[in-house]
A and B are shown apart, each in its own frame.
Chain A
């Protein structure tokens, strides 16, 4: 297994953290369908990784294989240098917080937290102290005697986290445990996950379909679609430099402009023909796939488009077009416009205006000007 060997030696190279989890060409096939297809990645110790993807993209399947529920159809998973192929979950040192929490309803909060210590036969005298310490860590001090059904949703989350961490596992897995919470509580718990993870330094893999959560909590993000890893990068890079149209579309609000490539120029600039208009952007895919005549798509984020009443206000931008406001949605911290642009074959562009206080809102039917620069447009093959 040359890849696994690479993973093991990666730590020496540039003084990086050692690899905690190494996933190598992992496949999971259900009834002839790939739930996970050829997944490979390395996760350094202490990192907070989020697997982000739409429902059914294979996130849970991948996480469960790492936890030891269901062996991969093919491929290898190495945790702390040990191939874990046939190791059952209870012999792995992995704390997992489940989608529905899976707390034991017949036990108190403290008994839930003590459970893994008892199952792992830790010194009985140290258990009460440890339980208290971890209940305090998740800010549930004094609530240990409560039954699970006597706790609020947020408090139950905290019990689940304490229970998954109390035995000091090598790895913490979170399978969308926040999905069912209301937005305020969810955002509060996201920050809690981050605080606790930093405090303990435990290597963490979090699964979510919530792009905001992924961007807020993670050191790195893996974007998945249809069982395949689309991109693995830091949050800012995932956002700024998506690998392909799926990632560009899944994270943020992106306008796509279909076209045919005209020329590939120096410094990665691509010209392409959209309708009768020549547009420019920077290459998002390999140069070879953006050659003359190829089908391409330009991706343009809604917040990168400037909007103004007068053309003169947009001087200095590379592309300026005029359009008509179809719809204006006031969302508080921003206004979302849908604007039809005749010069772009009547394409409807979504545009954010964040200067809600400074600008007067354009009404539907109003003629406006839109502008952006070459580097705002990422050009992908396809």
Chain B
């Protein structure tokens, strides 16, 4: 019997024991449920979100009583009416929408060459450099970065000083719409590049070479081959940039200096300045609705891109 014992090492027997215990706690016929059990935390988180949304939906139908600073008991559409008629909100919504679309287009245009070079360069050093340069802003954080822009673009900032040297009068580079868009593009670029890179990696270099040998110069290779094949990447990156910039708070707040509010800033004001939770909730829900509408529109126009799920077609 001794030989048999050594042939069956202690580690295996421990595993056997563990398995037996697991069998009692989680019997075999439950096994099919294991994958769903692993989904539970995610479902819980999404559930909480839905719960919150429900609360907000409830609040959005109640108006603020300016005497008691409490929400009214009765339900009405007053908040929604204010949101879609008051010029302040219409301006903010228009600014956010137009801004996020401009930011999305600019970001994609700027990110593509970056991602392309990063994926295609034969030099490992250059690739590493581009990757690090891409991730660096992530480590810095949004607030510090925006502060950096203040230093560079401020009235006594580096850019204005440089202008001064060549005799151009200092100008206001901050607290205007272009500054906010500029900041957003810079903030969104890493996201776009990171979503475009895998899509470009999936296009074999041979395909581009083939297009060349078949008579396409690089412009037509890009238009007829790379662009259509990278479309999932563009759609995915576009969606992420669009939704993130539409809902961004920090950059309009810091680089806009209060004069260039986006929707999130308006919501913040309602919740934490005016304490009108009803109106804040209304704006928040409208933002969710507009965002979903935009995403749905992109989905129907261009397909779901890299965000699409489901089995890979053979």
Chain A residues in the interface with B (C-beta under 8 A): 67-69, 88-90, 92, 94-96, 98-100, 102-106, 115-116, 119-120, 149, 163-164, 167, 173
* Whole-angstrom CA separation of A158 from B207 in the bound complex: 17
* Whole-angstrom CA separation of A98 from B224 in the bound complex: 19
Task: Give the Cβ gap from A86 to chain B, nearest Cβ, in Å.
Answer: 14
Asked if B210 and A167 sit within 8 Å, CB to CB, the answer is no
Task: Give the Cβ gap from A18 to chain B, nearest Cβ, in Å.
Answer: 23
Chain B residues in the interface with A (C-beta under 8 A): 204, 206-207, 209-217, 220, 224-225, 228-229, 313-314
Residue from B212, B213, B228, B229 in contact with A95 in the complex, judged by beta carbons closer than 8 Å:
B213
List 8 A-B pairs, minimum CB-CB distance, nearest first. Answer: A119-B215, A102-B210, A116-B214, A89-B212, A102-B206, A120-B215, A96-B213, A119-B216
Residues of A within 8 A of B209 (CB): 67, 69, 89, 96, 98, 102
Asked if B228 and A167 sit within 8 Å, CB to CB, the answer is no
Task: Give the Cβ gap from B206 to chain A, nearest Cβ, in Å.
Answer: 4
Q: Which of B213, B220, B229 has the most CB of A within 10 A?
A: B213
Task: Give the Cβ gap from B212 to chain A, nearest Cβ, in Å.
Answer: 4
Residues of A within 8 A of B314 (CB): 149
* Whole-angstrom CA separation of A100 from B204 in the bound complex: 9
Asked if B224 and A88 sit within 8 Å, CB to CB, the answer is no
Known contacts A94-B213, A96-B213, A120-B215, A115 near B206 by CB under 8 Å: no
Asked if A100 and B206 sit within 8 Å, CB to CB, the answer is yes
Q: Which of A89, A96, A100, A167 has the most CB of B within 10 A?
A: A89
Asked if A98 and B210 sit within 8 Å, CB to CB, the answer is yes
Task: Give the Cβ gap from B39 to chain A, nearest Cβ, in Å.
Answer: 31
Q: Which of B212, B229, B314 has the most CB of A within 10 A?
A: B212
* Whole-angstrom CA separation of A67 from B197 in the bound complex: 28
Asked if B214 and A163 sit within 8 Å, CB to CB, the answer is yes
Residues of B within 8 A of A95 (CB): 213-214
Known contacts A98-B206, A99-B206, A106-B228, A90 near B212 by CB under 8 Å: yes
Q: A90-B216, A115-B211 are in contact. List 13 more A-B contacts (CB 8 A).
A: A68-B213, A90-B214, A92-B213, A96-B210, A100-B204, A102-B204, A104-B211, A115-B214, A115-B216, A116-B214, A119-B214, A119-B220, A167-B215
Task: Give the Cβ gap from B305 to chain A, nearest Cβ, in Å.
Answer: 14
Residues of A within 8 A of B214 (CB): 90, 95, 115-116, 119, 163-164, 167
Residues of B within 8 A of A102 (CB): 204, 206-207, 209-210
Enumerate 16 A-B pairs (CB-CB under 8 Å) in ascending A order. A68-B212, A69-B212, A88-B212, A88-B217, A89-B212, A89-B213, A90-B215, A96-B213, A99-B206, A100-B204, A104-B210, A104-B225, A104-B229, A115-B224, A119-B215, A173-B213
Task: Give the Cβ gap from A334 to chain B, nearest Cβ, in Å.
Answer: 39
Residue from B204, B213, B217 in contact with A67 in the complex, judged by beta carbons closer than 8 Å:
B213
With CB as the reference atom, state the residue of chain B lying closest to A122: B215
Task: Give the Cβ gap from B311 to chain A, nearest Cβ, in Å.
Answer: 13
* Whole-angstrom CA separation of A342 from B264 in the bound complex: 92
Residues of B within 8 A of A149 (CB): 313-314
Task: Give the Cβ gap from B312 to chain A, nearest Cβ, in Å.
Answer: 10
With CB as the reference atom, state the residue of chain B lying closest to A106: B228
Residues of A within 8 A of B313 (CB): 149
Task: Give the Cβ gap from A161 to chain B, nearest Cβ, in Å.
Answer: 13
Asked if B229 and A106 sit within 8 Å, CB to CB, the answer is yes
* Whole-angstrom CA separation of A104 from B229 in the bound complex: 8
* Whole-angstrom CA separation of A88 from B314 in the bound complex: 35
Residues of B within 8 A of A115 (CB): 211, 214, 216, 224
Residues of A within 8 A of B206 (CB): 98-100, 102
* Whole-angstrom CA separation of A273 from B15 in the bound complex: 67
Residues of A within 8 A of B217 (CB): 88, 90
* Whole-angstrom CA separation of A96 from B211 in the bound complex: 10
* Whole-angstrom CA separation of A99 from B215 in the bound complex: 19
* Whole-angstrom CA separation of A119 from B211 in the bound complex: 9
Residues of B within 8 A of A88 (CB): 212, 217
* Whole-angstrom CA separation of A105 from B213 in the bound complex: 17
Task: Give the Cβ gap from B229 to chain A, nearest Cβ, in Å.
Answer: 6
Task: Give the Cβ gap from B204 to chain A, nearest Cβ, in Å.
Answer: 6
With CB as the reference atom, state the residue of chain B lying closest to A169: B213
Task: Give the Cβ gap from B225 to chain A, nearest Cβ, in Å.
Answer: 6
Q: Which of B210, B225, B229 has the most CB of A within 10 A?
A: B210
* Whole-angstrom CA separation of A116 from B220 in the bound complex: 11
Q: Which of B215, B217, B224, B229 has the most CB of A within 10 A?
A: B215
* Whole-angstrom CA separation of A92 from B215 in the bound complex: 8
Residues of B within 8 A of A100 (CB): 204, 206
* Whole-angstrom CA separation of A102 from B228 in the bound complex: 15
* Whole-angstrom CA separation of A94 from B210 in the bound complex: 10
* Whole-angstrom CA separation of A17 from B225 in the bound complex: 38
* Whole-angstrom CA separation of A112 from B5 in the bound complex: 66
Residues of A within 8 A of B220 (CB): 119
Residues of A within 8 A of B224 (CB): 115, 119
Q: Which of A68, A90, A92, A167 has the most CB of B within 10 A?
A: A90
Known contacts A100-B204, A102-B204, A104-B207, A90 near B213 by CB under 8 Å: yes
* Whole-angstrom CA separation of A164 from B213 in the bound complex: 9
Residues of B within 8 A of A99 (CB): 206
Q: Which of A67, A116, A163, A167 has the most CB of B within 10 A?
A: A116
Residues of A within 8 A of B216 (CB): 90, 115, 119
* Whole-angstrom CA separation of A119 from B229 in the bound complex: 17
With CB as the reference atom, state the residue of chain A lying closest to B313: A149
* Whole-angstrom CA separation of A119 from B215 in the bound complex: 5
